[in-house]
Chain A
Amino acid sequence: MRALLCASLLFCCATGAQAAATVTDQNGRMVKIPDRVERVATLVIPAASMSIAVDHGPARLVGIHPSARQEIADGFLGRIFPAAKRIRADMAGENFIPNVEAILATKPDLVIQWGDRGSAIVDPIARVGLPVLTLRYGDTKLAAEWLQLLGTGFTGRDARGKALADQFLRVHEEIAKASASIPANRKPRVVYLHRTQGNAFQVAGYNTSMDSDIRLAGGVNVAGDLPGFSSVGVEQLLAWAPDVVLLNSFEKDARPAALFGNSLLAGLPAVKNKRVYVYPRGGFRWDPPSQESPLAWRWLQALFHPDMRVPPLRTEMIATYLELYGHELTQSDLDAILRMADNADSLHYREKFAHKEVR
């Protein structure tokens, strides 16, 4: 009997990694997660920094999207985890088309890919025998499940993934509740400018995460009738007359001063009242969904409803960064992440987010 037990144990160990768990990913696919996952490749851009957060570091992240590496290199995460700047970054090409040979070269145990853009970008990876965990884009709330799925992906991070997801959803619920109590006529009219170069504006309409964030934080997305990211002309912006303008963090020249100086936009209430804000950029940009989205929501909430009492963002950020990355933020770090220099002239910004010396 004992001999049989030992033999079967030896047999199990000898045959190596078995499918330990089968999870349903965000697109309903059944994915067999291997017993030991030590190497993860992700074609999903936010999943790179999210993996670093979930896994307490980039050690097991072996392949990422080129934009993700750009983001890490330019942004805060590269400072905290310098090794992340050297992760192989050719996992995908335009439109997330997988570079299968590059993926294989990183010898991943698990691959993360978008699952809502057609099977043509998923099948080539699955065909070479790699387990693919697919995610969905849309409402930022979906990112909670990303945290959870990544937790199940990285061996030993089940609990962490779940904890982060729960925290994520808790903040979501809290903010949703606060927004629900705001009467419709007190909700500011908001627009997110995805592109601002040369008076050729792009806004975020429905089915974008920015739209869900604006609504969550108790605002009205003036572009909510348009699909996805749509181009609009100056006249349309003027016709919408938004109270608040949110600028993307992608374009290097997108900052409030540029809009304040644009004579064509002088008629916008947002410009007149200087309620133009450029999105912060921390361990990941705050405009798209990420592990830092709860902070982004708090930021929006404070800007949309200056009268509302909200916990101070800086304190939240310090706590969150410790939780996510084990990193202690300095005051100047906070200023940099919050783009204090660019947003300084905008209404309420210093008041809400500047460091208050406690004497």
Chain B
Amino acid sequence: MAEHIAARGLGYRYRQGWVFRHLDFRLAAGELIAILGPNGCGKSTLLSVLSGSRPPIEGELARQGRIALVPQSLAPALPFTGLEMVLLGRAHAVSLFAAPGPADYAIAHTALAQLEAEHLAERSFDVMSGGERQLVLIARALASESPVLLLDEPTAALDWHHQAHVLALLRQLADTGLAVAFTTHAPQHALDFADRVLLMAAPDRQEFGVPEAVLGEDALSALYRLPVKRLQLPDASASTAIPVFRDYLHRKATPAP
């Protein structure tokens, strides 16, 4: 399998301190990898580094093939329609003094269709809801026809139906040969869809492996500093991770010794 991203001992810091260190990561064609971690642990930064926007401060990073990154949010300064935003995905294929042609427009429409978002083509991007914007941005990444897709919290503003739809689409894309990685706050996504998961447990410690193995109760509870239970549903195929918020409530009421 072609390895599109290979990172070893990756480290990045801001002035305040290291965001992550000693990070190993590999993404190959046909793989769907989920990246989990608490807020502020550097998931977005990691994607930034992996995509080549920022050079790593430590470690080695090898990339192969064009990488499309779907950012968490976007606030363009000038108005775009949904279609125009998706069309931007074709920018790499358009020469400097040219503009997208009919083929590019067709690809853009197809991408939107893949996301059940055709109706957003003529709508203005800045009046779309957060979820609609995410769909458009994912479509944009698809339109770029890149072999590697990195998505930053692609399901954050989506309802469950659309979460399922997007993740299923990502799975499907991975199955057709793309290399896909996405960040998420939901361990369930990793358990149900991903081949591997990267758990950013601490700034200098990560776990990387198969979801079932990595996402144990202890690991998750430590990660989110909240009791998390792993349950096997009667239907043997589904394995769940459930946050017990109520316990957290009790813990807050009676301070720990």
Direct contact of A and B (CB under 8 A): no
Which residue numbers of B lie inside 8 Å of A, CB to CB? none
Chain A residues near B (Cβ < 8 Å) = none
